[in-house]
Amino acid sequence: MPYIKFLLFAFSACFTVFYATAQNNFISFGESILAANHKVSQTYTVSFALETRYFLYQNEALFYKQQQIDVAHFSTLNLNFNHALSLGLEYRERAVFEAGSNEIRITEQFNYKTQKLGVRYGHRFRSEQRFLEHETIYRQRYRFAVDFPLNGEKLDIGEPYLINTVEGLLSLNTDDKPETDIRFSSQIGWQITEDLKLQTGVEYRNEAFNLVAQHRLFVLTTAVLKI
């Protein structure tokens, strides 16, 4: 399919540029997420997530060091099949690991999705207020996602699926220049049971590329549970 060829080309080009240019400002992380979703009613869903992030590679050396632990909650109101509004609250602990400031984050989100021939397209708009110890950052985000089953047009129990995303971010505060980031990710997932999904993949982040670019590669592992 043309869109699959385009996505494969885009991700190949992204990682080719990454490996060619990211030698000096490169750090690799691992990020593991355990998420639980509960459908309260036909229109209201709550979700909770526990996230842990740890260093895997820095200064041309492999090593493990914990960077942070996040606890997050989202409440989502489904306006109809395609549109949803969400409000999120997140706490990030870094000080205990001597890795920076702790953070409280508030997120407002609008999500729009469509589906055609088994392929789902998602548009996600987020506005975030990040409250750190010495500053407040206001961040705007837009993400485009494509996901589809790898066997046929319908995802059945035990079958794999693929998720590809690209996201742009703009961060603003009163003390520093605006910062722009871009992120590309690709993950493969499995519908283990009716209530459990497992996902793994990678995400490349080009952070502050309008200032001094910082290259980050994340190894992602996720478990999503319906309760």
Q: Which helix (H) or strand (E) segment is 8 a member of?
A: helix 2-21
Which of 193, 195, 185, 194 lies closest to 221, judged by CA? Answer: 185
Q: Which residues contact 16 (CB under 8 A, 6 or more apart)?
A: none
Band (pLDDT 50/70/90 cuts) for residue 98 is very high
- Are residues 160 and 184 in contact, defined by beta-carbon separation less than 8 angstroms? no
Q: Report whether pLDDT(95) > 90.
A: yes
Band (pLDDT 50/70/90 cuts) for residue 2 is very low
Structure tokens at 25: 């400002």
Summarised one tens digit per residue, pLDDT across range 147-206 is 999 988 888 899 999 999 999 999 999 888 999 999 999 999 999 999 999 999 999 999
CA triplet 27, 57, 139: central angle to 5 degrees? 30
Would you state the pLDDT for residue 173?
A: 92
Would you state the pLDDT for residue 6?
A: 47
Mean pLDDT calculated for residue range 83-112:
97
The length of the chain in residues reads 227
Q: Tell me the C-alpha distance between 183 and 167, whole Å.
A: 5
Q: Which amino acid is at 116?
A: K
- Are residues 190 and 224 in contact, defined by beta-carbon separation less than 8 angstroms? no
Structure tokens at 95: 């000080």
Would you state the pLDDT for residue 22?
A: 47
Would you state the pLDDT for residue 25?
A: 79
What are the domain boundaries of the chain? 35-141+167-186
Band (pLDDT 50/70/90 cuts) for residue 12 is low
> What average pLDDT does the structure give for the chain?
90
